[in-house]
Amino acid sequence: MTEEEHWDLEIKPEGNLLDLKLRDVWHYRDLLFLMVRRDFVSFYKQTVLGPLWFFIQPLFTTLIYTFIFGNLAAIPTDGLPQPLFYLAGITAWNYFADCLTKTSSVFTTNAGLFGKVYFPRLIVPLSIVVSNLIRFAVQMLLFFMMMSIYWFKGATFHPNGYLFLFPFLLLVMAMLGLGLGMIISALTTKYRDLSFLITFGIQLMMYLTTVIYPLSVVKEKYPAYVWLVSYNPMTSVIEAFRYGFLGQGTFTLLSLGITTLFTTLILLAGIIIFNRVERTFIDTV
């Protein structure tokens, strides 16, 4: 008699639509960390300043926003120091935008790799989300440094207990960027136009988020458009971020709860669509 064979991993051509393949992702977790390292090293390998760009980009963006929106346009910042207000929004927005932008091109940029060897395709978008945490951590350090500077200068802002929501807010941003990115990545296998629209679309989405203005200003001066900004899921995240660390922001647990529910649905839809498309995308890319 032949002894029954046992396999650590079984590759099937088709599976259940709701099979998220999370067990396969855990099995290939070493590959995940290798890809995170690859993304970080390859992106800054031939740059002069290297990881210093993590500081330079948000710092210069903050200075420009302060000059244009704070001084020229005179948009209120809820009584907070303008650079601190803008840097808080930029730090949160950059992480979400990076996750969305890079994940949205996973299929087209990795077509050669996907066509040669098997591994759970979810590893690639997950590695993007994890590698972006490094940049986010450096920018958070810059944010804390600026908070310290203004604290010693006597600026009035009041961190509170809601700052302990920070890990949860980070998770929501990662889930939202990952979910939307995977949906767009799946669609770009057939509709390449989306790859040209994604950068433009993210810029428009930023102006509908409270990165450069507080939600309180929209409610006061433009009440007819409050729904347009409030329905943006990143608005409640950024407002909660500012409220926890700086003590100012139009934040409610209800709005954050709605955002969390929406984000969870988007992530599940993204994983299902991504897993469905990855079976046949190599024939269309």
- Domains in the chain, number: 1
Amino acid 45: pLDDT: 63
The residue range of the domain holding 71 is 51-283
**Nearest one of 273, 278, 285 to 13, comparing CA atoms:** 278
> Is residue 17 included in any domain, yes or no?
no
> Is residue 23 included in any domain, yes or no?
no
pLDDT digits (tens, 9 = 90+) for 206-252: 999 999 999 989 888 888 888 889 889 999 999 999 999 998 888 88
* Confidence at 104, pLDDT banded by 50, 70, 90: confident
Amino acid 43: pLDDT: 65
Amino acid 220: pLDDT: 87
pLDDT digits (tens, 9 = 90+) for 123-176: 888 888 988 898 899 899 999 999 999 999 888 888 898 989 999 999 999 999
C-beta neighbour count of 163 within 10 angstroms? 15
> Is residue 12 included in any domain, yes or no?
no
pLDDT at 188 over 90: no
Q: Return phi, psi of residue 25, to 5°.
A: -60, -45
The length of the chain is 285
Amino acid 1: pLDDT: 43
> Is residue 236 included in any domain, yes or no?
yes
Q: Record the pTM.
A: 0.85
pLDDT at 42 over 60: yes
- Residues of the chain with pLDDT > 70, as a percent, come to 82
pLDDT at 111 over 60: yes
User: DSSP readout, 105-154?
Assistant: THHHHTHHHHTTS---TTHHHHHHHHHHHHHHHHHHHHHHHHHHHHHHTT
> Is residue 175 included in any domain, yes or no?
yes
> Is residue 188 included in any domain, yes or no?
yes
Cα–Cα dist 127/181, whole Å = 13
* Confidence at 48, pLDDT banded by 50, 70, 90: low
pLDDT at 19 over 60: no
DSSP state of 49: S
Q: Is the dihedral of CA 229, 233, 234, 239 positive or negative?
A: positive
> Is residue 73 included in any domain, yes or no?
yes
The answer to whether the CB of 111 falls within 8 A of the CB of 130 is: no
- Residues of the chain with pLDDT > 90, as a percent, come to 33
> Is residue 215 included in any domain, yes or no?
yes
176's tokens: 């939202």
81's tokens: 């120091």
